[in-house]
Homo-oligomer: A and B are copies of this chain.
Amino acid sequence: MIEIERKFLVKSTAFKAEAFKQTRIVQGFLNTDKARTVRVRLKGEQGFITVKGPSSSDGLERFEWEKEITALEAEALFKICEEGVIDKTRYEVKAGKHTFEIDEFYGDNDGLIVAEVELETKEDQFIKPEWLGTEVTGEIKYYNSQLSKHPFKLWK
């Protein structure tokens, strides 16, 4: 299916007090090619394999396919993933009818916090919480597949 998502930097950690859920996520990549990213994720006790296609020219839409797998399967697949594991906590915050997913990164991406909101249509309006910063939708360096190879600590 095609997902429509907008992505923002986060200005403060005020979102933490508003979160209704937080989950540790560890993920590796079987392919970091932007045209066919293959991600293996461990999210709490659940495993997932996810395939993403190329982004649309405006960066808003991207084909995404996901299948749940066991945690043991995810662990086995991690062993053959590319170098550069992503480790983060995902906070979920409601804002009107939408849910923001805010990822606070650890390790080589320590210091980076990014929020994403999934929309029904490209024109869909949404509430912007006060902690929401600059929009970075479509900026490839913020893709997790790219952060695994070129982490935040090496930027500037």
A residues sitting closer than 8 Å to B (CB atoms) are 30-31, 33, 35-36, 38, 49, 51, 53-54, 63, 65, 67, 69, 73, 76-77, 79-82
Residue numbers in B under 8 Å from A80 (CB-CB): 35-36, 51, 53-54, 63
Q: How far is the CA of A69 from the CA of B69 in the complex (A)?
A: 12
Q: How far is the CA of A69 from the CA of B63 in the complex (A)?
A: 17
Residue numbers in B under 8 Å from A67 (CB-CB): 49, 67, 69
Measured CB to CB, the nearest residue on chain B to A67 is B67
The list of the 5 closest CB pairs from A to B, nearest first, reads: A53-B80, A31-B31, A30-B36, A36-B80, A38-B38
CB of A73 within 8 A of CB of B65, answer yes
Q: How far is the CA of A38 from the CA of B58 in the complex (A)?
A: 28
Measured CB to CB, the nearest residue on chain B to A37 is B30
